[in-house]
């Protein structure tokens, strides 16, 4: 859908090799930094599976949308 709408985005998922995940994550961080430096840029979007649910520390990220919520509180708190 993002491709159809021509919204620039990066992707992380478990079927990617670790090297590719790290490369896309670094690109996303640069996208976010560029947004901070140039307010005319529209967005920085990272789409990821649970592979990105833990331990991502990205300064200046304003919104996170989790569209597939865990089934119980214990799993959610673990994330």
pTM: 0.70
* Residue 10: strand pairing partners: 46
- Give domain limits for the chain: 10-78
23 pLDDT band (50/70/90 cuts)?
A: very high
Q: What distance in Å separates the CA atoms of residue 39 and residue 23, rounded to the nearest whole number?
A: 24
Q: What is the pLDDT of residues 28-44, one digit of tens each?
A: 888 888 887 777 777 78
Of the two residues 29 and 66, the one the predictor is more confident about is 29
């Amino acid at each position: 859908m993002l491709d159809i709408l021509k919204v620039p985005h990066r992707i992380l998922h478990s079927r990617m090799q670790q090297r590719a995940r790290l490369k896309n994550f670094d690109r996303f961080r640069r996208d976010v930094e560029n947004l901070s430096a140039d307010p005319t840029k529209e967005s920085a979007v990272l789409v990821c599976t649970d592979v990105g649910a833990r331990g991502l520390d990205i300064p200046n990220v304003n919104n996170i949308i989790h569209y597939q919520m865990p089934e119980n509180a214990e799993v959610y708190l673990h994330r």
